[in-house]
Homo-oligomer: A and B are copies of this chain.
């Protein structure tokens, strides 16, 4: 169960709620986020939740039988919008396109990308400075210096930054330069990192693990929310299956299911999903039609020279056409 508590709840009131929950055989846990307060009761018995609803300090109470609680739609029927400031938000009535390079290569690349985004009305740049690489001998990203350079250029052009954090000790260093922390597929169940991101008041884009289930993704999101941060964006990026005709099996089935199970926005990454440049567009448009709140794309001013081998990277020209089509598709779906 989720008990929404009043901002001005007293410790006595809180104590009493805890007692009633405990007496019912449930474990109470207090959650304070940047936006509100909750008491979560976990357990299996059944009892009349109205007994809690009438207690003072309680603003509302909900039975939530999902394993995840705060990210469930069972208590929050309305879509959540993630506010990024400057009139920009993700989810609910917005459709968001994030785009940028696989890896941040240097100021010239960032500047070209920023101008490209601005020219096309996009406001969020993706780009890795800490890169998870299978081999220790591969380039692991431009690091904090790269991020600082990126941030200087992006913020001058009023472009927000979404970039991957790989380790909790990086959070503090990155904080001032990042608008959205990205958690990559390999860290989708790095619970210490998720816990730590729960303490941060910046949005988190959480990717599904390579063999992660939909429910595990939501449980991972619950770590962040129950840690204190409500600003979570879910991201489908493809799962591993027997089929190797493409990079990953982009699982669009996850989109309507996540949208039903959770009130959080859902973004799709067709670039890392199907992973083949000429198929990014149909999968991006299919994702919109499946109900995604946005897409995240890999673009580069010169894909052949991109740090990644560019197999999945769109040129600015290709991307420009896709932005238009994706936005039109979103409008078409709204009016359908």
Contacts and interface: CB of A to CB of B under 8 A. Distances in A.
A68 interface: yes
A197 B271 CA distance: 32
A215 B336 contact: no
Contacts of A186: 189-191
Interface in A119-174: 132-137, 140, 166-169
Given A29-B137, A137-B29, A249-B251, A240 B256 contact: no
Nearest to A284: B289
Interface string A241-257: 11111100111111111
A96 interface: no
A27 B137 CA distance: 9
- Which of A250, A257, A286, A288: most chain B CB closer than 10 A? A286
Interface residues of A, number: 77
A180 B211 CA distance: 27
A273 interface: yes
A179 interface: no
A7 interface: no
A251 B243 contact: yes
Contact of A242 (B42, B213, B245): B213
Contact of A190 (B187, B250, B333): B187
Contacts of A29: 137
Interface string A183-213: 0001101111111000000000000011101
A1 to B, nearest CB: 12
A219 interface: yes
A85 to B, nearest CB: 27
- Which of A216, A241, A250, A291: most chain B CB closer than 10 A? A241
A309 to B, nearest CB: 13
A186 B188 CA distance: 8
Interface string A56-97: 000000000001110000000000000000000000000000
A283 B291 CA distance: 9
Interface stretch (A13-21, A99-107, A220-228): A220-228
A150 B243 CA distance: 38
A40 interface: yes
Interface stretch (A46-54, A108-116, A324-332): A324-332
A325 B334 CA distance: 12
Interface in A273-301: 273-274, 276, 278-279, 282-283, 285-291
Contact of A256 (B67, B69, B227, B282): B282
A192 B167 contact: yes
A167 B168 contact: yes
Contact of A222 (B136, B187, B256, B279): B136
Contacts of A286: 252, 255, 286-287, 289-290
Contact of A291 (B239, B282, B332): B282
Given A137-B226, A255-B282, A286-B289, 13 more contacts: A136-B194, A140-B191, A167-B193, A168-B169, A211-B242, A241-B241, A242-B242, A249-B253, A252-B252, A255-B286, A285-B290, A288-B289, A289-B289
